[in-house]
Chains A and B, each alone.
Chain A
C-alpha cells in the first residue's frame, strides 16, 4: 500500500528549528531547515544524521524547500548543505532568496564574531549554499523531476513567505510554513485553492488563541506611543529587521501623518534600512492596497522615519526608535535599552515573542533588576509593554485554511504540545479530519490510496459517453475494456482493439439450441408467431423478422425448421454467440415454455 511518511526533525511539538522530512510515493523532501533560538549547542540545529544515518544526503533527498527567510526556518541551511553536505536543489521564493543570505550572514556574525564560536559556517559557505537555490514564482509549477512537482502559494507571514504543495502523481502534501490568514497593512492574507491534498502540514503557533481584533491592538499601541511622547518620554521598539518592523512603521507613519506629529521616529541603520529597500523592490508580494498605490507613493518610502545614529540616543526630548534585534539580547536595541531603562518616562514596547534567556523575556516576565555583564545591575524603571503583532494565523485562521484546502488529514507542527492537543481535538471534532502531532523524530505514516491513471482510447470513451451520459443511480452502466500493460505504459482500450493490437484472433464461441415447439402450422407462420411473441415480451430489444423467415433478437438468430418425421413439431434453432449469453439463455428458456395461443 502506498503511504506518506512524515518525520519532524525540528518543530515537532515545539517552536524553532523547523525541519520536516516527508516521504511521498518514493520521493523524499525536506521542508525547511531552521535553527533554534533558545539553544547555543548542538540542539540548535536539527539532527540531520537521522536522515540517512551514514549515507549521503544528496542521494536520499530529492529536494529541500524553504518556506520563508526567518532563521527558525532557514538558519541551518548552510550548515546542512555545506558542512553536512547536500548538493541537490533548494527551492524558495525570490524575496526569500534575496533576504535569506543577509540574515544568515548576520546570524553568523553574532555567533562567530561576538560569541567567538568555532566550527560555525563561514560567509563563503552561505554563498555556496545560495548557489544551490532555485527561485520559484507564486503558483509556478516546478517540475523537480519527472514525477515530483512543487507549487508555491502566498502565505502572507513575511515578505516572500510561501506555502508549498508537493505532488507526486495524484498524491500530494501541502506545507504551510508560517502563514497569516488576516491581511495586514503591508501583506496580504494566505490563500490556497481547494487542492485536496492527502496531508496538510500546518503551523500552530497560536493554536489556542483567537486574537482580538487587530484594530484594537493597533489603537492601543498608538495610544501608548502617543502618550509617552506627549509627556516627553522616549519609546524603544525592539524589532527584527524584516516583517513586523515594516508593519509598525507603516502604522506609525500614517498616524504621524494624520496627527501631524513632529516627534522624530528613527530606524536603526543597516539591516532595517536595507530591508525597507527590499520591500520597495518586491512590491508584488505585498498586499493589494500597496500594490495599487505604489506608483503614486511607495508605502516603504517613509516621510517621518529617519535613519538612526548612535548619538541620537542621548538627544533630549521625546523620540521613537525602532532598533534591532527584537528580543533585546544583543546589538543596538540592547544598547539603547540600557541607556533609557533608568527613566520612568520612557517606554519599551515588545511587539513579538521572546525566547527564554533573553533580556526581552526577563523584562516581560516582570523582572525589574537585571544583571548585566560585569556584575552590573540595571534597574528598569521604564515602562514595559507587550503587544503581539506576530503574523501567525490564530486558531480560527488555521481552521479556515484547513477548510480551504480540504485535506484528508492534518499534521500540526511549530507549536507547543499542549496547545496542539487542544487544536487537534478541535480539528477532529469540527472538521472531521484526522489530525496528527508527532514529536521530533517521531514518524507518522499515512496510507494513501492513489488512483491509477491510465490512457483510455478515445474511441472507447466516446462510445461509452454516447451511450449514457445520464448518471442513473439504480442502473449504473458498466464499461468494459482491456487494460494493456506494456512496460510501465498502461492503456485501456476496447477488447476488439486489444486483440487487434496483440495480433490475436478472436475465438467465436457460438451456441445453437434446438427448441421443440408444438405447432402444426407452416414454418413461416411459426416464425411469425415466435416473432410476435418475442416482440410483445421483449419491448426494450430490437426484434426483427427477416425476409428469409428467421427472427433476430439483437444478434441472436432464431430459425424455424421442420424436421421431416413429425409435422406437428417444429424445431426452433436458437443461435447466439457467447457475447449474447444472457439473452440467448433467456430466450431458450422463454421459448421452452411454449408460445401463447395465437389470438386468432
Chain B
C-alpha cells in the first residue's frame, strides 16, 4: 500500500506473512507554503497581502494532516498496523497522528531504529511543534502530550540488530549513510527477503557509510527517498554555499540559513569551520537558533559509534568527533533556544544565522526575514530541498535581500541507484511512480529515471501493489529424537528421502515437529465400549507408495511364503496373478496393484505386506 504521494516522504504499508508493517510516516509540509508566515509581531503588511489565504490554523492544519490520515483509514484500518519502522529523523512527523487516531496500541511498538539519534531526534521532533504550540491554532494538529505518548512507544534498535516480530518475520535496520541514524530496513522471513531503501547516500559525510552487502539477495527492493534535485552536485553546492556566505559577510551583510536543526547542518558547520579560517572570516559569529539547538549539537558528539570511520577514530584519541565543539569552545558558534533572552544581548552583526523552519512560515526564521529582508546586503541561502524557495519567499516580496538556492541533498541520485541495483541484484524493484519517468520539467533527461532489469514496479498514492513473490516454504524444526528415528533412502544420487510422521507444535509462529507419541495403551477403565470406539481414526495417514512390482520376483516370493497354484496371465497393461486356491486375484500394472480377494483378513494382510516389500513408501 502506498499512502503518500510524495516520493521523498514515503509512507508505505507492507503486509507480509500476517504482519502489517508501516514503513515510515513522514508529514508533507509543503502545503504550508499556501499560508502566510506566522510572524513574531503582527505585521499589517503581511496580513494585508492578497493572494494567500488568511485562513490561519484550523483549515490549514486539517488539510495537511487529514489528507494522509484519511487515506490511511480508507486503505486500511490503521489499528491493524503491527509496527512502524522509521528510517530517518525526517520521517516520523506523522507518528503522533497515527498513535492518537488509531488506537494503535502499545502492544507493538514502533521501532525507531535511530538508536543513536533517537533521543536527540525525539527532542528534534517537537521543535517545529513547540513553535506550533505557541500559536494556538496549531494545537489541533497534535500536542506535546501526544508527542510524548507517541515517543514512549518507540523502541530503539541498533544497526544490524535483528528483531523478531511475532516470530513470523525478522526486521533488521542497516546503515543508510544519509544522516545520523538513518537506516534502511530488511524485512525477512526464513525464505523471503524484502529490503526497504529510503533516503540513502553513498557520499561520505558524517554518518556511517551505507551497508550495501546486506541488501544482496533480496526478493524485493522497495526504493524511496531519492534525491529531490538530481541535477545538483552536493559538493558543488557546499562550495557555492560557502563562497556566497563569505561574499555577503565581507560586504557587511548578514546571512540567514533556514534549516532543520539536525542533519545537513552538521556538515555545513564542518565545512564552515574549515572555510572561515581560510577566508579570514573567523571573527564573524555564527548563531544557531532553535529550541533544540543545544541538544542537537551535544547529541551529535556522543554518538561516535554511529559515525563514519574518520569521526570514530577521533573519539579514540579522545576528541569530539565534530569540529563544532571547537567552534563553540572558541565562541565562534553560539546557540540559543530562541531569539528571546540571551540572544538579543549577544547579537552582533554581520553574522550568520541558522534557524528554522525552512518553509519560512513559522519559527524564528520569520523574524529574521522581516528584519533583514529590506537590505540588499543580506543574503538568505536555502539548503533544504524540501520546499520550493520561490514559493517560500513569495509572501515576503518585494524583497531586497539576495536569495541563493544551494540545495544540498546527499541522497541517492539516479546514477548511484543504477550502480546500487547492479551491485545488490534484487529480483524485483518497487518504487514510486515518479521515479520511473523523467521529471516533468526536464522530460528529455532520460537519465533522470530508474533504469533496471526487470523494469521497476511503480506504485501511486493509495494504490495497492501485490509484491511478486510467492511464499513456498516455512521453517520448521525437527526434534533430534525424531531426526534420529528417520530412515532416509537414497532415491537418486545425492537425493535422499525420508518419511516423516510427527506431531506438529506451533507456538509463537514457530513450528516444531516432535516425535509421535507411543500408541496409547487401551484404557481398561472404560467399561462401556461402544461399537464406534472401534472405528479407526481415518485421519491416520498411510504413506504413499511408489515403484513397480517385478512380477517374476513377486511370484517367487509368493511361493516362498507358501502360496502354491499360482497362475500368471499377461494383460495389455501388466499381469494378473491368480491364486486359485484362495480365489484371489492380483492385478499388477506399472503404477497400480489391485488385490481382489475374499473376505479373509489374514490372507489379505499377508499379501499386502508382501506387495509392500517391493514398493517405496513416502
Contact = CB atoms under 8 A, between A and B. Distances in A.
Given A479-B500, A479-B504, A504-B491, A294 B298 contact: yes
Contact of B474 (A461, A477, A487, A509): A461
Contacts of A475: 537
A223 interface: no
B468 interface: no
B604 A513 contact: yes
A363 B27 CA distance: 67
Contact of B542 (A101, A274, A508, A578): A578
A479 B513 contact: yes
A485 B320 CA distance: 56
A450 B483 CA distance: 10
A583 B295 CA distance: 76
A284 B599 contact: no
Contacts of B304: 94, 281-282
Contact of B497 (A457, A482, A537, A580): A482
Contact of B159 (A101, A137, A274): A137
Contacts of A358: none
Given A495-B499, A499-B546, A506-B544, A453 B312 contact: no
B500 A480 contact: yes
A514 B598 contact: yes
Interface string A576-597: 0011111101101101100000
Contact of A454 (B298, B478, B488, B491): B478
A508 B546 CA distance: 8
B532 interface: yes
Interface stretch (A46-54, A138-146, A412-420, A560-568): A138-146
Contacts of A511: 594-597, 604, 608
Contact of A483 (B492, B498, B511, B543): B498
Interface string B289-308: 00000110011011111000
A127 to B, nearest CB: 11
Contact of B545 (A170, A295, A478, A507): A507
Given A94-B304, A512-B595, A513-B597, A483 B604 contact: no
Given A451-B480, A482-B618, A507-B548, A492 B318 contact: no
A515 interface: yes
Interface in B459-503: 471-481, 483, 486, 488, 491-492, 494-503
A478 B474 contact: no
Given A476-B503, A482-B498, A492-B500, A451 B488 contact: no
A144 to B, nearest CB: 12
B190 A455 contact: yes
Nearest to B593: A509
Contact of A579 (B486, B491, B542, B605): B542
A516 B599 contact: yes
A298 B312 CA distance: 20
A292 to B, nearest CB: 8
A505 interface: yes
B135 to A, nearest CB: 26
B594 A510 contact: yes
Interface string A444-467: 000001111111111101001100
Given A137-B158, A141-B161, A510-B595, A452 B480 contact: yes
Interface in B138-194: 157-162, 172, 190-191
Interface in A199-251: none
A125 interface: no
B495 A94 contact: no
A141 to B, nearest CB: 5
Interface stretch (A31-39, A255-263, A327-335, A538-546): A538-546
Contacts of B302: 280-284, 294
A114 interface: no
Contact of A507 (B305, B473, B540, B591): B591
Interface residues of A, number: 92
B41 interface: no
Interface string A486-524: 110001100110110010111111111111100000000
B601 A588 contact: yes
B134 interface: no
B75 interface: no
Interface string A304-325: 0000000000000000000000
A511 B607 CA distance: 10
A135 interface: yes
A431 B315 CA distance: 43
B615 interface: yes
Q: Which of A458, A505, A506, A507 has the most CB of B within 10 A?
A: A507
A461 B305 contact: no
Nearest to A474: B520
B538 interface: yes
B501 A452 contact: no
Contact of A580 (B316, B538, B604): B538
A284 B114 CA distance: 13
Contacts of B136: none
B476 A492 contact: yes
A139 B162 CA distance: 8
A484 interface: yes
A483 B500 CA distance: 7
A97 interface: yes
A98 interface: yes
Given A506-B544, A510-B592, A510-B595, A476 B501 contact: no
Contacts of A480: 499-501, 541, 543
A588 B599 contact: yes
A581 B159 contact: no
B284 interface: no
A495 B473 contact: no
B477 A453 contact: yes
A59 interface: no
A456 B475 contact: yes
A591 B549 CA distance: 31
Given A284-B302, A452-B478, A513 B599 contact: yes
A507 B547 contact: yes
Contacts of B511: 456, 461
A277 interface: yes
A564 B318 CA distance: 106
B60 to A, nearest CB: 33
Contacts of A294: 298, 302
Contacts of B544: 495-496, 499, 506, 579
A98 B191 CA distance: 39
A291 interface: yes
Interface in B505-558: 505-506, 511-513, 516-517, 520, 531-532, 534-549
B116 interface: yes
A117 interface: no
Given A455-B475, A499-B618, A508 B592 contact: yes
Contact of A98 (B303, B316, B531): B316
B585 to A, nearest CB: 9
30 contacts: A101-B316, A295-B294, A451-B480, A455-B473, A461-B511, A477-B503, A479-B500, A480-B500, A480-B543, A481-B499, A483-B498, A485-B488, A486-B496, A487-B494, A502-B491, A502-B492, A506-B544, A507-B546, A507-B548, A509-B545, A511-B596, A511-B604, A541-B535, A579-B541, A580-B538, A580-B542, A582-B540, A585-B601, A586-B534, A586-B535
Interface of B: 115-116, 119, 157-162, 172, 190-191, 294-295, 298-299, 301-305, 312, 315-316, 318, 320-321, 471-481, 483, 486, 488, 491-492, 494-506, 511-513, 516-517, 520, 531-532, 534-549, 590-599, 601, 604-605, 608, 611-612, 615, 618
Interface of A: 94, 97-98, 101, 135, 137-142, 170, 274, 277-278, 280-284, 291, 294-295, 449-459, 461, 464-465, 469, 471, 474-487, 491-492, 495-496, 498-499, 502, 504-516, 537-541, 554, 574, 578-583, 585-586, 588-589, 591-592
In order of increasing CB-CB distance, the 6 nearest A-B pairs are: A508-B592, A451-B477, A582-B536, A455-B473, A495-B618, A449-B480
